[in-house]
Structure 1
Amino acid sequence: MAVNADRFQDSNPKTCVVLGGRGFIGKSLVLQLLKLGNWIVRIADSTHSLNLHHSESLLAEALSSSRASYFHLDLTDKHRIAKVLEGSSVVFYFDVDSSNNGDHFCSLYKLIVQGAKNVIIACRESKVKRLIYNSSADVVFDRDKPLAYPWKVDNMLIDLKAQAEALILNANDIDGVLTCSLRSSNVFGPGDSELVPFFLKLARYGFTKFIIGTGDNLTDFTFSENVAHAHICAEEALNFQTVSVAGKAFFITNLEPMKFWKFLSLLLEGLGYRRPFIKLPANLVQYVLSVLKWLYEKSGPGYFNYPLLVHFIQLALHTRTFNCSAAQKYIAYAPIVSLEEGVTLTIESFSHLAKDSSFSRCCDRSKADKLLGSGKVADILLWRNEKASFTCFLGLVFLFYWFFLSGSTFISSAARLLLFATLLLCGHGFLPSKLFGFSIQRVPGSNFKISDTAVKDSVTITLHLWNKGFQNIKGLAQGDDWSIFFKVAGFLYLLKLFLSKLLTTLIGVGLVFAFMVFFVYEQYESEIDGLVDILITISKEFMVYLMRNLPVSVSRLLHYGDNFQHYQGPECGKDLR
């Protein structure tokens, strides 16, 4: 895994700048440059301060010995960029993190495209010799074939990155600056903030159990350390093989194409999730995606990350492999970490997000358990003790039949049940202690006693409820609050209709529902939560679309009503009455 430094031992220390050096791949490149020992590294990024992790001891040592330095940098500030680049011979350019800018086109354009222009101008002014840009294979990918820059790109971020790459390649050999671009495919590894976290988020919601399409499509993945190593190879090649490298773009992968679903399965199983096993038709998924695209175009950036979802669907459906022979031939690139080892290292780094790392069922209660109070009722309805749960279910079914399906009135059913219970208890009392060799356990008399405290408490509660109810009824009868009177009268009338028509059916359905739905929810909690989140997201996006397409008069009325409710407090309400 270590970078071979023999060929650099006799060279003088060179000064380089790593723009975006605190990003995902930038950190790995800085570490490899420091390990080589013949670089003075300037780290430039958008973060205001350099907060080192305990694992970055090599960087801390380099900072203290002035082999490394850190600069806060805004890519929209031309003069600041030129000052940071002054005296350096090489610039490794990674896009500065744009996650805090959301999906605003203007902000992203300034950071990526205008930022690339500023970097090029600063390189010329500072007499930088080599500029190496970290691009992406996505900039030239369209369906199943790597092509030239496509005419239309659904992902705005990729479109802007393609523009930045074109600017840098076209600036080659102007004012002595040699440029090249590295197009890596599906970069993953420790510190990844996009690809692996997105997969794990889908896994937590239960969506990674589905295989979209046939599952035979091949994909190229690239471990982050290999991408960093490719930048070092490109810098050396630009220095010695100018004609073959300058102004060119090179694909970078692990040189190990793998079925996408196999890669995902290795990653998920390593973190305790189940591998995909249910196949979904590709046409169905494409139809759902078209609906989401329509919502995204109508309502704009909102509650779901449509571009990242599109990227995942493309990975899941299409073959995405790239020819790295040019990188092997002209910049002498070869992976230093195998795909298998890269997956293992990634799993170890994301162990804190493993399924059973800190939220195992043995030590964390499920939502269904919390909803039911985590007591005896929860144990019964969640079938923790199957014998007790089945007994309770049969008992409730018997009571449901006795009171609602037997054809008798409620009072007569209760009287017959009381008589039946009395006969059973009396018969049990006359039975001998042993019958046919079986011991008969007596029911202790203490089970039928009620303590004085319990009787007093029940009487006190009953009196309190009676007095409170009497006061409310008296107020309604005297017409103290007619709005409440009509609400109560309407509710009682609807309740009467409800009880006379649907009570029996709803109680029967509710009985089965209670013993089934909580158990099912506990078993598939993440999947159900994920589906609910998607439905809520779609409904919100649809409501945004409706609000934007309502007539102006209706929109103003709703807006006025919201403002009125917002500004009118309880005191104002009293004045209006």
Structure 2
Amino acid sequence: MPEHSRRVSAENLLDNFMETFAHNVPKKSSEPVFESTEKSTVSDSFNRLFGREKPVHHLLGGGKSADVLLWRNKRISGSVLAGATFTWLLFEWLNYHMLTLICIGLVLSMTILFLWSNAANILNRSAPSFPRISLPEDIFVTAAIALSNEINRFLSFLQDVASGKDLKTFLVVAGSLFAVAIIGSWCNFLTIFYIGFVAAHTLPVLYEKYGDQIDSCIYDALDKTKQNYRRFDSQVLRRIPTMKGKKSQ
């Protein structure tokens, strides 16, 4: 009986989790295809993954960073992604180091300015000068305050998760950290950062364009996962007490 109760409780726990997850994922619409365009447009735009009711652009902040991530200006977004790719290739494939690149850049800049200054003296023109950086005095204070607020928010989130109030959130966070640790053992931090950077510049725009298809695939995968678990439970888990009972006899 204890084994049977443990098996039933585990099955009920997974069923409750799958039903909660399925309830949050938008289900396939059974309405006719030829409905009013206004109604379908509004429902398709604001009934997306996990039941969210805001567009992707609003979820990403709605500012210039969201415009870059969603490729509102293809030239800027392409330049940012190309620059990140070039930097990753320099450090990862060509095995350059930050100090080496800085020194090489300074030497090239000094050589160009040296040639330019001598040419300016010959041509009776003004000599060039290094550009000066001017920053507001409180920019570092503002950045430090914003960073500290984000760190405190993350620490408070970890504290709430570790308090044991929500077992599902605790398991999700622990599994995510464990997965990141495994991925980190495969490659270095720069590669992980670059993969995340590329994903941030590709996945949101893909979901914005093909959100309905992605939601449908996730819902189908969720149904198949639930069916496979029920099949595994009926074919394997339900037979374990019987096998143990035969051995005891």
| TM value normalised by structure 2 | 0.48
| TM value normalised by structure 1 | 0.24
Q: Which structure's CA Rg is the greater one?
A: 1
